[in-house]
DNA sequence: AATCCTTACACAAACGTTTGCCCGATTTTC
DNA sequence: GAAAATCGGGCAAACGTTTGTGTAAGGATT
């Protein structure tokens, strides 16, 4: 009982009219009379007509598909972002072609190639950690495939992007700690190769200076984001001449590792040392001692904005060379951790 | 500088040969001589020829795309499964069209419709929690679109599916606790509407009986998987005449809630009460007191197998009515939690 | 009554590729 | 040396849809 879906050709034959009339009738083209139009529509219904998407796509030279390349779907940030992208795409009746680079530059390169071959109409990318060269994205320009980067943005000039400004959040975080009375604030930062590390550091410095406190470089240490690296970094801070009473960490994971280590050292997290971090991941709800606050980076909104921009580019007449570029920064925001009744022991 | 990719037509003109020859040459068709073949290939390279996928798909009447509908991407289980599906699909040069039902039956219905319109070659589905009727999947049969369900499988006869058998894991969990000396083992189960709840319970009972212990129904309570529900369930168990010394929980979240509550009650988790759960989610690594073991349900493998089956169906001559159905159950498996140096407190 | 618009539809090309069939030229076969 | 097989390649249809152009019939305008 394999019934191939009906085609407009069959409808035309059945009604003894031309194919083009059927096509136009279904699209409510004004040059088709009302009676014919209705006749066609009724017949289409009756024959269970479904427009053959692949034929339409082929004919129009568009795929009505946007590609999304991101590092790792299992990271909460990205799965949230992809949800947003999907929602936006669905609203526009576009499809989403998803692929993970697993933070591997080579894989990312292949995926770009694949997306291009699949003739996606546009591309949304959050680059892999290891990506150091960006020629594979240049190629897309020649094929007139617009790209919007989000969150992890390459350091290029002529690109569209949406990213989260870490500085504001960083300033908020430090201000928050200062208001709580802390004067010696440490920072466990990420590797210098990440743009985000620089922004976090900048925010830290700005907040200190604005509060007329001098900036002590020895209070900022960087780590490789692993547990071991974090432990080393924390140890470094604790051995510092000026021992910090609060620490800002690069993200919730680093916070987690640091907190775990601090407890092992017998440090009282209620009185001796407080933590603030970035990301505001769900995991902090599961920790007995979580950072007291975390900087939210709004993955859903980032995804949404990025997708919106991409559609804007798709709809604009992009026949002329692109000269203006969307460069959107979303302000990050400090969020207090939900008050938890700390476990007894 | 918009350069539309070259077509075989242009290659043909440039070489003054026919289109069909170019096509066949590129496909290494035996009826094309070696010299011509190489000439064509060189020219194709030179002109940066890229086969137009949409044209091919249209011509072949296939989309080389499989659809995936699942409840929620942000759940670790599914993001892991989708990774597997993606990997399998990539290996076969297929694309993945992803969509989330957000556990809503209506949305799921729409997505199935959309997938059908997009003429996906096949479909992978994990049904939404709320889905109670399944006609929307029947339609796919008429269009000859094979469907493979995974993890959350509808209670239908003539379907292909991959699921995880909870019984084995449940038995292992109980056996594990019995061997550790526990005699009064409680269970915080999920809602009765979920098939998994029944399986977990069955496994529990079987394990008890096999060890010549009598089964006490009052030791099994169900909850709605929320934190409040879990607390109530735990309280119920603790007030039982026979107070359990170990508890099997429906999943890691329930375990988390229960552990949190138990600690608040001042219960010593090292001596008084032990937990075992299901899912083996990454979160248990972040908890100070995690369940001592968890039943792994192999999301990656489930996704992989489901995808494999789908491709098998796609490649088989499915012109005749399907009569045999893949019904794969993967055995779940108890996994010990990594030993953690418990925090001092 | 001849001209000019509309109206309402038909014709056919085009999108890029695959593939069944045909055909001329060379080689093989007896 | 003629018939047959093989080789190498061309022709054209087909996939389903959209859309520019052509063209009848009918009405309005002069």
A138 and A258: one domain?
no
Q: How far apart are CA A79 and CA B81, in angstroms?
A: 13
Residue A175 burial by CB count (10 A; 0-12/13-18/19+): exposed, middle or buried?
Answer: middle
Give residue B99's pLDDT band: very low, low, confident or very high (50, 70, 90): confident
pLDDT in tens, A146-170: 999 999 888 888 899 999 988 889 9
Residues of B in contact with A86 (CB under 8 A): 98-100
Q: Report helix angle A19-26 to A8-15, nearest 10.
A: 110
| DSSP one-letter code for B125 | E
Same-domain check for residues A186 and A237: yes
Position B299 scores a pLDDT of 93
Kindly indicate the confidence band of residue A3, based on its pLDDT and cuts at 50, 70 and 90: low
State the pLDDT at residue A42.
92
A237 and A120 belong to one structural domain: no
Lowest mean pLDDT among A1-15, A174-188, B100-114: A1-15
Is residue A265 domain-shared with residue A172, that is, in the same domain? Answer: yes
Give the separation between CA B86 and CA B169, rounded to whole angstroms.
27
Confirm or reject contact between B339 and chain A (CB < 8 A): no
Average pLDDT, chain A: 88
CA distance A39 to chain B (A): 23
C1' (C12) to CA (A8) span, angstroms: 16
pLDDT at residue A267 tops 90? yes
**Structural domain harbouring B67:** 61-164+305-322
Asked if residues B230 and B261 have their Cβ atoms less than 8 Å apart, the reply is yes
pLDDT confidence tier of residue B318, bands split at 50, 70 and 90: low
Provide the percentage of residues in chain A whose pLDDT is more than 90.
53
- Å from B115 (CA) to C26 (C1')? 53
Starting at the edge strand that comes first in sequence, how are the strands of the sheet with B333-336 ordered?
A: B220-222, B185-189, B246-249, B274-278, B293-296, B333-336
Phi, psi dihedrals of residue A224, rounded to the nearest 5°? -95, 15
Taking residues B280-297, what's their average pLDDT?
83
Residue B333 lies in a domain: no
Report pLDDT for B236: 95
Measured to protein CB atoms, the chain C nucleotides within 7 Å are: 7-20
A24-54 pLDDT tens trace: 999 998 889 889 999 999 999 989 898 888 8
CA–C1' nearest nucleotide, residue A55: D16
Which CATH number does the domain housing residue A123 bear? 3.40.50.2300
The pLDDT value recorded for residue A73 is: 84
Number of independent structural domains in chain A: 3
pLDDT score at B344: 35
- C-alpha radius of gyration, chain B, whole number: 27
Average pLDDT, chain B: 88
Distances (CA, A) of B112 to A17, A25, B162, B193: 33, 27, 19, 24
Q: Give the CA B57 to C1' D9 distance in Å.
A: 26
Q: Please tell me the predicted confidence (pLDDT) of residue A31.
A: 87
* Interface membership of A263 toward B (CB under 8 Å): yes
B56 belongs to a structural domain: no
Strand D-proximal protein residues, Cβ less than 7 Å: A 4, 7-9, 19-20, 23-24, 26-27, 49, 51-52, 55-56, 58-60; B 16-21, 30-37, 58-59, 61
Separate counts of helices (H) and strands (E) for chain A:
12, 12
Q: For position A277, what pLDDT does the model report?
A: 94
Residues B21 and B77 in one domain: no
Q: Using one digit for the tens of pLDDT, what is the confidence trace for A92-141?
A: 888 888 888 988 999 999 899 888 877 888 999 999 877 888 888 988 88
Q: Is residue B37 part of a domain?
A: yes
Residues B58 and A57 sit within 8 Å (Cβ to Cβ): yes
Is A146 inside any structural domain? Answer: yes
Q: Does residue A306 carry a pLDDT above 80?
A: yes
Taking the Cβ of residue B178 and every Cβ of chain A, the question of whether any pair is shorter than 8 Å is answered with no
Distances (CA, A) of B329 to A229, B54, B307: 41, 37, 14
A255 contacts in chain B (CB < 8 Å): none
Q: How far apart are CA A78 and CA B76, in angstroms?
A: 12
Q: Is residue A2 part of a domain?
A: no
Give a yes or no: residue B329 inside a domain. no
Size of interface A-B (CB pairs under 8 A): 118
Tokens of A102: 């697993």
Q: How far apart are CA A132 and CA B7, in angstroms?
A: 33
Of A282 and B17, the one with more pLDDT: B17
Q: Considering the domain boundaries, does residue A341 fall inside one?
A: no
Q: Are A66 and A124 in contact (CB under 8 A)?
A: yes
Q: Are residues A24 and A88 in the same domain?
A: no
Pairwise CA distance, residues A332 & A200, whole Å = 11
Q: Is pLDDT above 50 for A239?
A: yes
All protein residues with a CB under 7 A from any atom of strand C? A 16-21, 31-37, 58-59, 61; B 4, 7-9, 19-20, 23-24, 26-27, 49-52, 55-56, 58-60
Shared domain check, A212 and A193: yes
User: What are the chain B neighbours of A1 within 8 Å (beta carbons)?
Assistant: 142, 321
- Whether B111 and B187 map to the same domain: the answer is no
Task: For chain A, say whether B342 makes contact (Cβ under 8 Å).
Answer: no
Residues A189, A277: Cα–Cα separation, whole Å: 10
Would you say residue A235 has pLDDT above 90? yes
Which range among A78-82, A274-278, A319-323, B160-164 shows the weakest confidence by mean pLDDT? A319-323
Best of B1, B57, B83 to disrupt the A interface by mutation (most A CBs within 10 Å)? B57
Q: Are residues A155 and A174 in the same domain?
A: no
Residues contacting A143, CB < 8 A, separation 6+: A116, B3, B5
Structure confidence at residue B343 (pLDDT): 39
Locate the chain B residue with the closest alpha carbon to A76. Answer: B74
Q: Note the pLDDT of residue A279.
A: 85
- pLDDT tens-digit series, residues B110-168: 899 888 877 888 999 999 877 888 889 988 887 788 999 999 888 888 899 999 988 88
Q: Are residues A37 and A113 in the same domain?
A: no
Mean pLDDT across the stretch B51-70?
89
The shortest C-alpha distance from A48 to chain B (Å) reads: 11
- What is residue B322's predicted lDDT score, i.e. its pLDDT? 63
| Cβ–Cβ gap A283/B286 under 8 Å | yes
Average pLDDT over residues A296-318: 89
Beta bridge partners of A186: A247
Closest chain A residue by Cα to residue B75: A74
pLDDT at residue B339, as a whole number = 59
B50–A99 CB contact, under 8 Å: no
pLDDT at B62 over 90: no
Interface contact B56, partner A, CB < 8 A: no
pLDDT exceeds cutoff 80 at B255 = yes
Q: Does some domain include residue B345? A: no
Q: Which pLDDT score, from 0 to 100, does residue B103 have?
A: 87
Looking at the structure, tell me whether residues A124 and A144 fall in a common domain: yes
CB contact under 8 A, B117 and A266: no
Together in a domain, B280 and B231: yes
């Amino acid at each position: 009982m394999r019934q191939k879906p009906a085609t407009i050709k069959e409808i035309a034959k059945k009604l003894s009219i031309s194919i083009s009339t059927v096509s136009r009738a279904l699209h409510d083209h004004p040059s088709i009379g009302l009676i014919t139009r209705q006749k066609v529509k009724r017949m289409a219904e009756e024959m269970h007509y479904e427009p053959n998407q692949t034929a339409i796509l082929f004919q129009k030279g568009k795929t009505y598909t946007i590609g999304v390349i991101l590092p790792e779907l299992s990271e909460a940030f990205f799965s949230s972002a992809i949800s947003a992208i999907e929602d936006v795409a669905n609203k526009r009746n576009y499809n989403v072609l998803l692929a993970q680079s697993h933070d591997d530059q080579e894989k990312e390169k292949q995926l770009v190639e694949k997306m291009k071959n699949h003739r996606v109409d546009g591309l949304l990318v959050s680059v892999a950690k290891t990506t150091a060269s960006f020629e594979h994205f240049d190629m897309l320009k020649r094929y007139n495939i617009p790209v919007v980067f989000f969150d992890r943005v390459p350091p290029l000039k002529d690109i569209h992007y949406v990213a989260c400004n870490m500085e504001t959040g960083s300033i908020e975080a430090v201000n928050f700690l200062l208001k709580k009375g802390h004067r010696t604030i440490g920072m466990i930062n990420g590797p210098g190769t990440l743009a985000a590390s620089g922004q976090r550091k900048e925010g830290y410095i700005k907040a200190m200076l604005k509060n007329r406190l001098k900036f002590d470089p020895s209070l900022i240490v960087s780590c490789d984001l692993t547990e071991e690296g974090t432990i080393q970094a924390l140890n470094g801070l604790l051995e510092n001449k000026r021992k910090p009473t609060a620490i800002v960490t690069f993200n919730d994971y680093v916070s987690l590792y640091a907190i775990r280590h601090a407890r092992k050292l017998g440090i009282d997290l209620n009185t001796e040392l407080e933590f603030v971090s970035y990301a505001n991941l769900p995991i902090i709800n599961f920790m007995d001692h979580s950072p007291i606050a975390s900087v939210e980076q709004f993955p859903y909104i980032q995804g949404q904005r990025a997708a919106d921009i991409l559609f804007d580019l798709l709809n604009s007449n992009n026949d002329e060379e692109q000269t203006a570029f969307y460069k959107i920064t979303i302000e990050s925001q400090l969020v207090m951790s939900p008050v938890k009744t700390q476990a007894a022991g």
